[in-house]
Amino acid sequence: MAQKDPTKIFEKYYTEWMDNPKRLESGYDYEKTYSEMMKKVEMEVFQNSVGEIPINKNR
């Protein structure tokens, strides 16, 4: 599996977040949607750094 640049991963989710009109409904929604976006970024960057996890733990 080819590793993705973490900056590209962030840009992908950041662009989605910026296009989401729900983030502007209130300060709470702004912070909540930002937090959700960052969790997605963290998970994808982490998964990318670890690599593919085998289905069978004995491999």
Helices (H), 1-59: 6-18, 27-50
Is pLDDT at 1 greater than 90 in this prediction? no
- Which token pair is 57? 């733990």
Q: Residues of 32-53 as b/e, b for ≥16 C-beta within 10 angstroms?
A: ebeeebeeebeebbeebeeeee
Interval 26-56: pLDDT, tens: 999 999 999 999 999 999 998 888 877 777 7
What pLDDT is recorded for position 58?
72
Q: Is residue 34 part of a domain?
A: yes
Provide the domain count of the chain. Answer: 1
Q: Is residue 14 part of a domain?
A: yes
- The residue range of the domain holding 25 is 6-47
Residues 6-29: tens digit of each pLDDT: 899 999 999 999 999 988 999 999
Residue 58 covered by a domain: no
For helices 6-18 and 27-50, angle between their N-to-C axes, nearest 10 degrees = 160
CA 12/CA 5 separation, integer angstroms: 11
